[in-house]
Chains A and B, each alone.
Chain A
Amino acid sequence: MAYVETIRAARLREERSRTCPVTGLRVYAGAQALTLANAVSAVLALALGGAFGVSMALTRAPSLELLGSKGYYVALTGHGVSALILWPVFFEVAAMVFASSVLLNARVWSMKLGWTALGLMVAGSVMLEAIVLAGRASVAFTAYPPLVASQVFYLGYIVFAVGVLVAIANFALTIAAARTERTYEGSLPLLTYGVAVAAILALLAILSGLVALIPAWLYSQGWISNVEPIVYRGWFWGLGHTLQYVNVVAMVVAWYGIVALTLRAGPVNQKFTRFGFVLYLILTVPVLGHHFLVDPSIGTDVKVVGGTLFGFGLGVPSLMHGLAVMGGTEARLRERGAVGLFGWLRRIDFRNASIAALTCSLLLFAIGGWSGTAETTLQLNILTHNTMWVPAHVHAIVVGGTTLAFMGFAYLLVPLLTRRRLWGGPLAAIQAWLYGAGLLLLVATQTWAGMLGIPRRVSRVDVGADPHSWRLPMDLMGAAGAVAGIGGALFVVIMVMTLLRGKRTDDPTALAVSAERPIADLG
């Protein structure tokens, strides 16, 4: 077959490689560099997104009101772009490179394509951040027409999206090449399988996003006369919400990665977990219907089926993976001698940074899943639509669930790839618990504010009706945002310092610290 020949021909180059002392996998120099470059871009995007986020929380606190309304809408747009799109997608592309090459003992199919993808993504990000900070794109990251931003904003999105498409193509070709070269036997490992599901969802998300953003760009230049806001909204959330399930799938992959590297645990049943990943693939796309639950555009039957029922259905794979990660951990520790109903929990060292992040991630994702399920019902959506309930849900899922899981996984991935000890010792675990606690408080206060009907995405509200009951939750929300902000900043510091100052070592126990407490320690 011709395409097999092409793949082989491209891979005749020589490339340095080493054997990982922890996992025994073959790590090629190119794959390692590309994974790290994507992860570093992700951390930089998170740093920006976090700074925007904290300034928003401090603005919404009525006792402080840090920014004026103009500054607030700059931060609103920048926060959505950086923290909801750039940070997770950069990290997912890092995961794609890692899962298709290192986990399969293979080289990246084309390093040129890999660097091209990263270059496009970085260029798009710089365009987006620059135009947002210049104050010429204060349209929120959703940019619903007829609101228009500078064309640099739309082009930034499009360039970034094309970069991700190139990365997805390289991911698929790397797996195909590994298969033809037989660098691994049998089916894909679970983590690679999960990342592949995330990549397919990302592909669907980006295609939908391009259908929304290209007309919006043409409209911003006056080249077409009209973009119907409701139609744009549908295509945009085909990007926006599908992308959140890319995050969820990647988060689940990070969960399995964390328990594998810290506790040598994994799924009890491969088929059960893989079926869970496939369910995400089947159920995700129609769920964008829940953005239309209380608007005049589409019929109630479409809203019920697409928004609500598919939304409930998506609870199934999340419950499956939550169970499989914890159940697999329990089974592993019982094999290792844990007894009693909760004896296995006492064998876990919660001072391990990745385990701390995983624990907070599981808890916050469960809270966010609950609040999302509540607001996807037609009747409750009247109470929550565009109130602070929505950021409460989003922060529980994307920051609590995905970001914390990515942080926990980064605490393992970065030391393994750089062969440097994690900088700061116990600081990483403190970071994870602090960030988790700040987010729990943030989600609680935002949920409270949402139940009072306080609107989101507005710099301030001159309250005529209920002045006093609206102050306290929003002031507490500001404080929670500050705590979470300190936790997030610590993560960035730890990552940067590990890359620059982390002690070089090849000792496997220092690179992936076991979270299993020896029986003698339990007393």
Chain B
Amino acid sequence: MASVESPVAPPAPGWARRLPADERIFLWVVVATVVVMSAFTIGWLYLGHQNPPTASYRTTPAAFTAKTQAFASRYAHGDGRVYVPAGHDAYLMAYRFGFFPTLVVKAGRPVRIWMSSLDTLHGFSLVGHGLNLNLEIAPDHAYGAVFTPTRPGRYLIVCNEFCGLGHQLMQTSLYVVR
């Protein structure tokens, strides 16, 4: 092995010559690892089934509120929850410090939830029954995520982007029914 050089003194002349073979081999192994990992993460976009949602469009707080309220008043039941009909898109708006409306979705049916914020950045963290799924909600953008719920039960939607002094209160439920 080559002798050690001092990191605190200027290097000996000729330090810029070609790297020795063992260091070149190490570099190529690391670079090959990066290439393989990159191939996996790109390949999964085409072959896999769990990718970040790509559907989004620009909106405004007023327009998104109107859309959500029209949707909620049409499908709300007496218990105050909104039952999303099969094949219909759902809307969820986030504001300081809550979500509207409380959604009920059917197990086994894919559903697209459009979400947007009325004020600051918010988080959409869907947890419960071993599930853990996190997205960012931004104002002026609607973000559409498609889920196929499998296990019936009550899930929790928690805001996980700091949004102000009531942040810890900001949560709602999502119900999956048969």
Contacts and interface: CB of A to CB of B under 8 A. Distances in A.
A512 to B, nearest CB: 12
A230 B138 contact: yes
Interface string A12-50: 000000000001010000000000000000000000000
Nearest to A104: B10
B76 interface: no
Interface in A349-400: 373, 377-379, 381-387
A457 interface: yes
A66 to B, nearest CB: 15
A269 B21 CA distance: 12
Interface string A178-216: 000000111111110000000000000000000000000
B102 interface: no
Interface in B1-50: 1-13, 15-17, 19-20, 23, 26-27, 30-31, 33-34, 37-38, 41-42, 44-45, 48, 50
Nearest to A228: B140
Interface in A106-150: 138-140, 142, 144-147
Contact of B11 (A190, A381, A457, A458): A190
Interface string B36-74: 011001101100101110101000000000000000000
B41 A458 contact: no
B7 A456 contact: no
Contacts of A147: 120, 163-164
B125 A269 contact: no
A187 B16 CA distance: 10
Nearest to B41: A377
A67 B167 CA distance: 15
Contact of A184 (B10, B30, B41): B10
A464 interface: yes
Nearest to B42: A304
B34 A312 contact: yes
Nearest to A145: B120
Nearest to A469: B130
A434 B38 CA distance: 37
Contacts of A456: 160
Interface in B76-116: none
B127 A189 contact: no
A282 interface: no
A191 B133 contact: no
Contact of A455 (B8, B30, B45, B158): B158
Interface stretch (A88-96, A238-246, A259-267, A420-428): A259-267
B8 A191 contact: yes
A189 B160 contact: no
Given A229-B121, A382-B52, A267 B4 contact: yes
Interface stretch (A327-335, A476-484, A513-521): A327-335
Q: Which of A146, A187, A269, A458: most chain B CB closer than 10 A?
A: A458
B48 A379 contact: yes
Nearest to A292: B136
B135 interface: yes
A191 B9 CA distance: 9
Contact of B160 (A334, A377, A457): A457
Contact of B136 (A295, A323, A334, A463): A295
Contacts of A457: 160-162, 167
B167 A458 contact: yes
Interface in B127-146: 127-129, 131-136, 138-143
Q: How large is the interface on B (under 10, 10 to 19, 20 to 34, 35 or more residues)?
A: 35 or more
Nearest to A451: B132
Given A191-B7, A332-B4, A270 B154 contact: no
A76 B6 CA distance: 42
Contacts of A292: 136
B168 interface: yes
A465 B42 contact: no
A270 B5 contact: yes
Interface stretch (A162-170, A314-322, A496-504): A314-322
A132 B165 CA distance: 14
Given A312-B34, A460-B168, A455 B160 contact: yes
A385 B134 contact: yes
A453 B171 contact: no
B129 A386 contact: no
A451 B124 CA distance: 16
Contact of A459 (B45, B134, B168): B168
Contacts of B121: 144, 229-230, 233
Contacts of B168: 69, 458-462
Contacts of B27: 316, 320
A309 interface: yes
Most buried by A among B33, B135, B160: B160
A441 to B, nearest CB: 22
A144 B117 CA distance: 14
A229 B138 contact: yes
Given A294-B134, A458-B167, A269 B19 contact: yes
Nearest 5 A/B pairs, CB to CB = A453-B132, A465-B128, A455-B160, A296-B56, A296-B143
21 contacts: A23-B8, A139-B162, A144-B162, A184-B10, A186-B13, A228-B140, A229-B138, A271-B16, A271-B19, A299-B54, A304-B45, A331-B4, A378-B45, A379-B44, A382-B133, A386-B134, A452-B132, A453-B127, A462-B168, A464-B171, A465-B156
Interface of B: 1-13, 15-17, 19-20, 23, 26-27, 30-31, 33-34, 37-38, 41-42, 44-45, 48, 50-52, 54, 56, 119-121, 123, 125, 127-129, 131-136, 138-143, 154-156, 158-165, 167-168, 171, 173
Interface of A: 23, 25, 69-70, 73, 76, 103, 138-140, 142, 144-147, 184-191, 228-230, 233, 256-257, 260, 264-273, 292-297, 299-300, 303-304, 308-309, 312-313, 315-316, 319-320, 323, 328, 331-332, 334-335, 373, 377-379, 381-387, 451-453, 455-466
Given A73-B165, A294-B52, A295-B138, 8 more contacts: A187-B11, A268-B5, A270-B16, A297-B56, A300-B45, A384-B134, A387-B160, A453-B127
